[in-house]
Amino acid sequence: MAIDIQENRKVGVDLREKGKDAEGCTIYHDGRLYIQLLVFTGFNVPPRILISQMERAGFCGALYSSLHDPGGVGLLTVAEDPRFFVTELQSFLQDSGFKYLQCRTDWTMIGRTYAIGYENDLVETLFDRPRRYVCNPAWPWAIWYPLRRSGDFEHLNAEERRKILMEHGGIGLAYGRSDHAHDIRLACHGLDQSDNDFLVGLLSKDLHPLSAIIERMRRTQQTSRYLSSLGPFFVGHALWQSSAS
In terms of residue numbers, what domain contains 212? 138-236
β-bridge partners, 215: none
Kindly state whether residue 33 falls inside one of the protein's structural domains. Answer: no
Kindly state whether residue 199 falls inside one of the protein's structural domains. Answer: yes
pLDDT at residue number 177: 95
Q: If we measure between CA atoms, which residue out of 75, 55, 56 comes closest to residue 65?
A: 75
Kindly state whether residue 5 falls inside one of the protein's structural domains. Answer: no
Distances (CA, A) of 244 to 48, 56, 62, 86, 102: 21, 15, 10, 22, 28
Q: What are phi and psi of 86, to 5 degrees?
A: -105, 5
- 3-class secondary structure, 188: coil
- 3-class secondary structure, 131: helix
* Cis bond upstream, residue 82 (ω within 30): no
pLDDT at residue number 9: 53
pLDDT at residue number 158: 81
C-beta of residue 64 within 8 angstroms of C-beta of residue 73: yes
β-bridge partners, 146: 199
- Split into its structural domains, the chain has a count of 1
Terminal CA-CA length for the chain: 28
Residue-by-residue pLDDT tens, the chain, 245 positions: 344 444 445 568 999 999 999 888 999 999 999 999 999 999 988 899 999 999 999 999 999 999 999 999 999 999 999 999 999 999 999 999 999 999 999 999 999 999 998 899 999 999 999 999 999 999 999 999 999 988 887 787 888 888 877 887 888 899 999 999 999 999 999 999 999 999 999 999 999 999 999 999 998 888 788 788 899 999 999 999 998 77
CATH number of the domain enclosing 194: 3.30.70.1030
* Cis bond upstream, residue 209 (ω within 30): no
pLDDT at residue number 94: 96
Kindly state whether residue 169 falls inside one of the protein's structural domains. Answer: yes
> How many angstroms separate the CA atoms of 126 and 112, rounded?
9
Kindly state whether residue 182 falls inside one of the protein's structural domains. Answer: yes
pLDDT at residue number 11: 65
Kindly state whether residue 202 falls inside one of the protein's structural domains. Answer: yes
Kindly state whether residue 114 falls inside one of the protein's structural domains. Answer: no
Kindly state whether residue 63 falls inside one of the protein's structural domains. Answer: no
Read off the pTM: 0.91
| Position 206, amino acid | D
